[in-house]
Amino acid sequence: MRALATLLAFLPALIGGAVHAQAADTPTRGAMLYDNHCGACHSEQMHWRAKRLVHDWPSLREQVRQWQGRERLGWSEEDIDAVSRHLNDTIYRLPAPQGVARR
């Protein structure tokens, strides 16, 4: 009986921890779009090459916009922002303009 009471006392913490771990492992929309449409050709080395075209947030966003257009992906502005944010959070670490939150 005491073991059951102890289990019930810790159950919310166990469930909460599992939910938090699952949420932390859930990829962002930007990560999924990039992985599904860009990742096969664009390795991380592509983003660090000597003739890099991305130097700030506007150039990052413009490169994402241009590539999705070349590939005829039809991404929305929100999709372009999401992929740009993903690349910035994982690779570039550029200062993003106000209103563009890191996720």
Specify the 3-state DSSP secondary structure of 66. Answer: helix
The C-alpha atoms of residue 8 and residue 50 are separated, in whole angstroms, by: 58
DSSP conformation class of 12: H
Quote the distance between the C-alpha of residue 103 and its chain's center.
Answer: 7
* Domain extents in the chain: 28-92
**pTM, whole model, 2 decimals?**
0.67
First to last CA, the chain: 44
Q: What is the pLDDT along the chain (103 residues), one digit of tens a residue?
A: 665 555 456 556 555 554 444 456 899 999 999 999 987 776 655 555 566 789 999 999 999 999 999 999 999 999 999 999 999 999 889 997 776 655 5
